[in-house]
Amino acid sequence: MLKPQVHNHQSHFPISLIPLPKPFIHGKNQASFLGQQSSFRLNNKAPINVKVRFNPARNIKAIAGVDAEQSVKVKGVVTVIPTVGGFLTNVGIERGIDDIKDLFGKSILLELVSAELDPKTGQEKIIKAYGHKSSQDNGEVKYESEFEVPGKFGEIGAVYVENEHHTEMYLKDIVLDGFPNGPVTFTCGSWVHSKFDNKQKRVFFTNKSYLPSQTPSALKRLREEELVILRGNGQGERKTGERIYDYDVYNDLGDDEDKVRPVLGGKDHPYPRRCRTGRPRCEKDASFETRSLQFYVPRDEEFAEVKQLTFSAKTLYSALHALLPSLESVLIDSNLGFLLFSDIDQLFSEGVSLPPLQKPGFLQALPRLLKTISEKSDVFLNFETPESMNRDRFFWFRDEEFSRQTLAGLNPYCIQLITEWPLKSKLDPSVYGPPESAITTEIIEREIKGFMTVDEAIQQKKLFIIDYHDMLLPYVSKIRALEGTTLYGSRALFFLTPDGSLKPLAIELVRPPMDDKPQWKEVYTPCWHSTGCWLWRLAKAHFLAHDSGYHQLVSHWLRTHCSTEPYIIATNRQLSVMHPIYRLLHPHFRYTMEINALARQLLINADGIIESSFSPGKYSMEISSVAYDQVWRFDYEALPKDLIRRGVAVEDPTAPHGVRLIIEDYPFANDGLLLWDAIKQWVSEYVNHYYPDPSLIQSDAEIQAWWTEIRTEGHADKKDEPWWPELKTPQDLIEIVTTIVWVTSGHHAAVNFGQYNYAGYFPNRPTIARTKMPTEDPTDEEWKAFLDKPEVQLLRTFPTQLQATKVMTVLDVLSNHSPDEEYLGEYMEAPWGEDPFIKAAFEKLNGRLKEIEGIIDERNANKKFVNRNGAGITPYELLKPFSGPGVTGKGVPYSISI
């Protein structure tokens, strides 16, 4: 750590010696200087006392040392980023008072804190100085202060900051310059409240990282007190601007009037925890929390007001709060579907005319979606043609694309190996009917005729399934009671062909006994007869609606956004910002809580986008809870173990990544394993550097409390599961941290940033099936209508105009990289650069990620990889690490930032 020259040996001068400038080391009077004390300025710094000596062995004629009693003049530069509508932009009396304070240099009070206590008094050593505004340029405001640091002050360990303005400020960093060994930097990245709102001063620590046991004496109390502040006391309603992290269940998705939804979290509906807001409880049912226009998140998790960080949040906020209500005002008939496929095409060629938006700023926030001819004209919602549609307008119609997307599409997490035959449900047959699947050996062998038998296919690991039967079947009767939607229990089977592609074999749709009718089940297969062909297409639409719901609710929301929020809360509550693991994880948590709060407001809430546009309707989040209960476990969130669990890979120490893929041409798995290994190597070097002795893991009170709280508080409903990894060795920590980093970066990127490219043309991935299959108890009239106009039946099954355009709008925003996106391994966090070893390890990560970019390009150009190369096929780039702004279908950000 850079620090003033302070030394504790007997000599009056320090050990480190400095070559003197020429006037001291040549000339006939050289001998008269030897052993004498003098004073001079070095590089225009403050005067220093020296004693001249001669060292023939080092060929230095004269050297000097700094007097331990000598003070050093240090300049502190504070960088503040102005906010939109806040600090430095507001008007009124308080603004004028703050301007006067800037003028007289009373803007910010800084108090430097020595890392060591005073040996005589045992008290903290503190130096104070006010900062005055010195410049404002390039979106940053600089404040300068001057300190006289005594020689015996010691290493700077922290700084107290008091904001003398009447409004909060966003503090980017503080740099102290003037020490002989170079500047000392505090990377803040935090909001600092006004002292008029809260008299408690903010403390920031230098960029040097410490394990708890290595904390300098004067910083121990500050370290502990800062964590106490961040934890709060679990009481009261959280207010805007607070920095308190705490846990609560999902009890605010609806209200106690007509939108009641079950509380998610607890014995009945297990679920991860979200951030506690402490809002008042509903009057009719105290188990629910009232909803409000704004959901609290800790202040440093918000990013909508900092100019250079507004894009993602402002775009999503604008889409949800302005654009979608405007759509609803135009598309008044919420049940109106598309009458022709050409009507769908017009969304991309002509768009939807909207009334003028109430706030012009929303237009600038959505440049891809909103177009105007002139300032006074109406606004047009005009969708860009998705890349997949640009390459092949009939891509959504092809069976080979249907199966290819299970490996290289939006939801590559669900396909698994069939290991038992015949297929059989685990549900209670007395409630749901006979458990045996209608997919028989005869049906499958007819489809794979010429390849092998079913027994041979299972033995050779050639049969695969995506199975939503048991998860969805208990909800069929409930969901069918809702208006405008239907549901089946479903499963789809695939065969791995010799060329490495998947051949779709069958889709089974099942209705349980209901409405005095027995269980109904039917199997649909690819067919060469027109009626069979259209029934197969309709069955695909139903299955894809189920897959779209599972993707959004489980693969995307539950397994990334939702399960990560407890990691963020525990990290801020239990790991000091000085802790090396905090600093490793911090970039992977940026902005996630803000996005999650927006989701609770308008995406996953009662009557939100998910409920109104996806098949499960009001039971969407409840099904997400079922998936958490049945499927989610932390150790399987690691990519290699997830692949092994699904039977699409086996452990193989001789394989490049320690696993051998059963489906060799599996784009998501192949690219994901490259990324997983790069992340794990980086995390391994980082963890082993700070924990060279395994005993340091068990003696680290903060890291043990962190892991305990994640298990017992953040994921409290699974706290007693035996599969939670232990945390006893550096290797344990490496596996845990790598898993968290993978979930927030690679996993999320794979299921998020391709959403518009694959689902922007919604017939490829409809989010809802509104009508039942024509073969399920049809009337004569229904069957004739299907035979006469099967295309109309498919269009009636697809989402309505309002549902489709709402989902397309949200998917466009979610798939969009902001101009200030922070990609995995692209830029180094400032604290990492403080340690040469960590800096070198990061540079190695950056180099490896650039190599991975090239490897993925080579794979996409290789004709032997039929699942990522071919006529009209969109290359698989979702796990390419870097990207430009926009809807690019590639790029892996550090965090779940949209």
Which residue in the list 207, 605, 752, 764 is annotated as catalytic?
A: 752
Q: Are 872 and 568 in contact (CB under 8 A)?
A: no
At 847, which helix (H) or strand (E)?
A: helix 836-861
The sign one gets for the Cα dihedral 671, 675, 681, 684 is negative
Spell out a b/e string for 833-867, using b for 16 or more CB atoms within 10 Å of the CB, else e: ebbeebeebbeebbebbeebeeebeebbeeeebbb
At 97, which helix (H) or strand (E)?
A: helix 93-103
Query: Is residue 556 flagged as an active site residue?
Result: yes
Cα(554)–Cα(563) distance, integer angstroms: 10
Number of C-alpha atoms within 13 angstroms, CB side, residue 423?
Answer: 26
Nearest to 786 by CA among 805, 803, 804, 773: 773
What are the DSSP calls for 761-776, one per residue?
SGGGS-S---S--TTS
Q: Are 247 and 273 in contact (CB under 8 A)?
A: yes
Which residue in the list 556, 579, 586, 817 is annotated as catalytic?
A: 556
Two structure tokens written together for 548: 């779209």
At 505, which helix (H) or strand (E)?
A: strand 502-511
Cis peptide before 881 (omega within 30 of 0): no
Q: Are 886 and 368 in contact (CB under 8 A)?
A: yes
Q: How far is CA 393 from the centre of its chain?
A: 32
DSSP strand E in 632-697: where? 649-651, 659-661
Query: Is residue 817 flagged as an active site residue?
Result: no
Nearest to 898 by CA among 585, 595, 568: 595
Nearest to 469 by CA among 481, 487, 448, 453: 487
CA-to-CA dists, residue 165 to 99, 207, 280, angstroms: 9, 26, 32
Cα(737)–Cα(683) distance, integer angstroms: 7
Cα(759)–Cα(752) distance, integer angstroms: 11
Nearest to 320 by CA among 290, 365, 376, 283: 365
Two structure tokens written together for 533: 């062909």
Which residue in the list 269, 561, 586, 747 is annotated as catalytic?
A: 561
DSSP letter at 132 equals E
Cα(703)–Cα(715) distance, integer angstroms: 17
Query: Is residue 418 flagged as an active site residue?
Result: no
Nearest to 351 by CA among 322, 328, 327, 380: 380
* Matching residue, tokens 């394989």: 655
Two structure tokens written together for 17: 């010696």
Which pairs with CB-CB distance under 8 Å and at least 24 residues apart come from 448-454?
A: 448/495, 448/503, 448/505, 451/495, 451/497, 451/498, 454/421
Which residue in the list 108, 748, 768, 846 is annotated as catalytic?
A: 748
Nearest to 584 by CA among 303, 831, 245: 831
Query: Is residue 752 flagged as an active site residue?
Result: yes
Query: Is residue 588 flagged as an active site residue?
Result: no
What are the DSSP calls for 338-403, one per residue?
-SSHHHHHHHHHT-EEEPPPSSTHHHHH-TTTEEESSTTSPEEE-PPPPHHHHH-TTGGG-HHHHH
* Matching residue, tokens 């003398």: 164
Nearest to 228 by CA among 206, 200, 256: 200
CB within 8 A of 537, min separation 6: which ones? 397, 794
Q: Which residues participate in catalysis according to the annotation?
A: 556, 561, 748, 752, 898
